[in-house]
Structure 1
Amino acid sequence: MALAYLAVDPVRAARRLLGAVIAGRAVSAVVVEVEAYGGPVGGPWPDASSHSYRGPNLRNSVMYGPPGRLYTYRSHGIHVCANVVCGTDGVAGAVLLRAAVIKAGVETAVLRRGVGVATTALARGPGNLCSALGITLDDNGIDLFNPESAVRIRLRKCSGAVAGPRVGVSKAADRPWRLWLPGYPEVSAYRRSPRAPTPGRSD
């Protein structure tokens, strides 16, 4: 049932991941901000900002399914980011986990992030989220619905999501494919890429 719930387009999957509980290595958190990413030209949801836009390769192969797998990568050579694969097997799509509220294992998250980090900032931003939950590049491809996996996710129905443009992308920058739950200080601030076209001129 959970896998079928994610076998949909990335934006719908993003909505369904809001409010989900993600648990990894002694820390669990509620997802409050996500970003949808599509696939290559010729696919059902082409997306120039997606890692899969130019087709499958060794790096992005997990994005092509099956849904419910974890796709991890290193951003700017520094931060590990985590995505939940969605869509049907063989069709690229994923949802970036951008921010979460730590619900259990706060002490462990603080040790991983640093004692000077505010509680509300422990998992704010995709790199910080992975750091707080102990998610690494080695987790790439794991089944998030396997109870034996080091990182697991449990979907919960949630409503009231707000949508807006994605953060920091230079292509397809105006798509309202970032979704978040309002009222949470853990949600990251919007920052438009300086390389993106003038607002309203980017698909």
Structure 2
Amino acid sequence: MKKLGKEFYKRNTLEVARELLGKYLIHEHEGNKLIGKIVEVEAYMGVEDKAAHSYGGRRTERTAVMYKEGGYAYVFQIYGMYYCVNVVTSEKEIPQAVLIRALEPVEGLDAMSENRYNKEYEELTNYQKKNLTNGPGKLCIAMNIDKELNGEDLCKEKLYILDNKEKFDIITSKRINIDYAEEAKDYPWRFYIKDNKYISKK
């Protein structure tokens, strides 16, 4: 499998979002290679998207990475305790990104399980296995992704995405938990792999 290059990310954000599905997110950490297949994403379209952190051209220390060219990680904290990882997209000064909402665990399962539950993977119940990475905060805990990776170049060796050719049906829906975003809460910018058991919400 080939690592995705900058040109993949520096395109239309909605196209990138759909094409991220089925790709492999990898975090190499403390000798472990943690791998999850991307099964659910949401696109955030920047200046004109009331759900985006960069809506209206907002630029803060936190959102600065969104203004870079595509191909960087944007990691932010929610509720003061959980991290979310996004893929910065489009061209420089166009602050758009794709939130990775859910992964299907592929490799490094024991390490992911220790991170989430302090147990080995085989000790988990079926419910715990299903919940290992089926949400943006959950997957960051399992994959050991935190603010230290904010601004990480996705074309380097620590956090990156591998291409993967696979056929599946894609479901499109409204984004989740953004009721504050007025009309933007109804935009159909969430995409997920049909019938995958690891998506966060049907």
Shorter chain as denominator, the TM-score bin is 0.7 to 0.9
Aligned counterpart, 1:138: 148
Query: Do the aligned residues in 2 keep the contact of 1:16 with 1:155 (CA within 8 Å)?
Result: no
Find out whether 1:20 has 2:29 as its counterpart.
Answer: no
Cα displacement (A) at 1:91: 0.8
Q: 2:169 aligns with which of 142, 160, 166?
A: 160
CA distance, structure 1, for counterparts of residue 49 and residue 163 of structure 2: 25
Partner of 2:132: 122
Counterpart amino acid of residue 40 in structure 2 = E
Q: Aligned letter for 1:137? A: K
Q: Residue 189 of structure 1: CA displacement? A: 1.2
Give the TM-score, by structure 1 length.
0.85
- Highest relative contact order (Cα 8 Å, sep 6+), 1 or 2? 2
Write the letter of the residue equivalent to 1:125: G
Give the whole-Å Cα distance in 1 for the aligned partners of 2:13 and 2:44.
6
Alignment coverage as a number of residue pairs = 183
Deviation, structure 1 residue 157: 4.0
Distance in structure 2 (CA, Å) of the matches to 1:120 and 1:65: 35
RMSD over aligned Cα atoms: 1.5
CA distance in 1, matches of 2:164, 2:18: 11
Question: After TM superposition, which residue ranges in structure 1, 4 or more long, deviate above 4 angstroms?
Answer: none
Residue 66 of structure 1 deviates from its aligned partner by 1.6
Moved more, 14-23 or 115-124: 115-124
Q: The residue matched to 1:72 in structure 2 has which SS?
A: strand
Question: Does structure 2 conserve the Cα–Cα contact (< 8 Å) formed by 1:9 and 1:93?
Answer: no
Counterparts of 1:47-62 in structure 2 under 5 Å? 47-55=49-57, 56-62=59-65
Q: In the alignment, is the contact (CA less than 8 A) between 1:16 and 1:157 conserved in 2?
A: no
Equivalent AA in structure 1 for residue 153 of structure 2: D
Gaps of 5+ in 1: 41-45, 191-203
Question: In 2, distance between residues paired with 1:186 and 1:174?
Answer: 23
In structure 2, the gaps of 5 or more residues are none
SS of equivalent to 1:187: coil
What SS does structure 1 have at the residue aligned with 2:46? Answer: coil
1:34 partner amino acid: V
Deviation at 1:15, TM superposition (A): 0.7
Corresponding residue for residue 195 of structure 1 = none
Q: Hey, what's the Cα distance between the residues in 2 that align with 1:51 and 1:157?
A: 31
SS in 2 for 1:118: helix
Q: Which residue of 2 aligns with 1:187?
A: 199
Q: Is 1:66 equivalent to 2:88 in the alignment?
A: no
SS at match of 1:173: helix
Residues 112-165 of structure 1: CA deviation (Å, up to 9, x unaligned): 100456222111100011111110101000111112xx2121133455211100
Bigger mean CA offset, 22-31 vs 97-106 = 22-31
SS of structure 1 residue aligned to 2:186: coil
**Whose helix proportion is higher, 1 or 2?**
2
The code of the aligned residue for 1:142 comes to E
Percent of residue pairs identical: 31
Structure having the higher strand fraction is 2
